[in-house]
């Protein structure tokens, strides 16, 4: 297990199309996070899962966004009816949570361009 | 909500020390992190500090935490050209907030001149 894997690395889509990204976390990590990073900004939290339960969603996560982690392993993030403002790097991170999490491992991200 | 602020840019000469500063607002933050991001790459965890510590040293990296002022700094000794990157400060929500995610600053671009 070499780290957090995200696919695809790049995605170009036309406005109005749906896209889906996949994240495979480190296998023993029970928490999985999605962040969005736009140019010149730090990552912004979107949502996170503990095992298969989605425990928190940011107000940034509009109704067009949905995330799943059906078996508590990999996760998918779907964006419906994409808009140009959705263009960003989508980062996935995972961690192992006991009483407190120490350290999050990030994947290399999926860069989405909406044209 | 929580906020993390950083200066945007720092330029140093190779061999000098770099100091990157960060302020945060969440007084219940339990851990504070420094991440490094190189162009086109993901985030690499450099170091972290627990909120009951005021200093942590890890090889060339020294983290100082002033919890009263909610100020965090990262010192890189003997800065090398390979240290050129964007450095992000991040706070983790404390138990009081019930938040289990990181709030990032906008990043400080470190440029190391040979």
> Which residues in chain A touch residue B101, judged by CB atoms under 8 angstroms apart?
33, 45, 48, 56
Q: What is the pLDDT of residue B51?
A: 87
CA-to-CA dists, residue A71 to A30, A93, B62, angstroms? 11, 17, 40
Say if B90 is an interface residue toward chain A (CB within 8 Å): yes
3-state helix, strand, coil split of chain A in percent (to 5) is 5, 50, 50
Q: How far apart are CA A97 and CA B8, in angstroms?
A: 32
A96 or A100, higher pLDDT? A96
Q: What is the pLDDT of residue B13?
A: 97
Nearest CB among B43, B44, B92 relative to A101 is that of B92
Where does the pLDDT of residue B27 fall: very low under 50, low under 70, confident under 90, or very high at 90 and above? confident
Each residue of A26-36: pLDDT tens digit? 988 889 999 99
Each residue of B17-26: pLDDT tens digit? 999 999 999 8
Where does the pLDDT of residue A102 fall: very low under 50, low under 70, confident under 90, or very high at 90 and above? low
Q: Whats the size of chain B, residue-wise?
A: 114
Report yes or no: B91 and B27 within 8 Å, Cβ to Cβ.
no
């Amino acid at each position: 297990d070499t780290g957090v894997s995200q696919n695809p690395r790049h995605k170009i889509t036309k406005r109005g199309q749906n896209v889906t990204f996949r994240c495979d976390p480190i296998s023993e990590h029970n928490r999985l996070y999605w962040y969005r990073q736009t140019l010149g900004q730090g990552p912004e939290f979107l949502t996170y899962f503990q095992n298969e339960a989605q425990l928190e969603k940011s107000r940034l996560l509009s109704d067009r966004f949905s995330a799943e982690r059906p078996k508590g392993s990999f996760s998918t993030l779907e964006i419906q009816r994409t808009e140009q403002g959705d263009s960003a790097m989508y980062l996935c991170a995972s961690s192992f949570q006991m009483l407190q999490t120490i350290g999050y491992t990030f994947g290399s991200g999926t860069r989405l361009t909406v044209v | 909500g929580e906020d993390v602020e950083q200066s945007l840019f720092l330029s140093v000469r190779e061999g000098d020390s770099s100091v990157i500063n960060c302020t945060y607002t969440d007084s219940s933050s339990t851990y504070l992190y420094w991440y490094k991001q190189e162009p086109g790459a993901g985030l690499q965890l450099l170091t972290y500090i627990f909120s009951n510590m005021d200093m942590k040293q890890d090889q060339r990296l020294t983290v100082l935490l002033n919890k009263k002022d909610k100020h965090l700094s990262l010192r890189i000794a003997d800065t090398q050209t390979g240290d050129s990157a964007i450095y992000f400060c991040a706070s983790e929500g404390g138990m009081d907030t019930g938040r289990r995610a990181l709030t990032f600053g906008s990043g400080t671009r470190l440029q190391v001149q040979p």
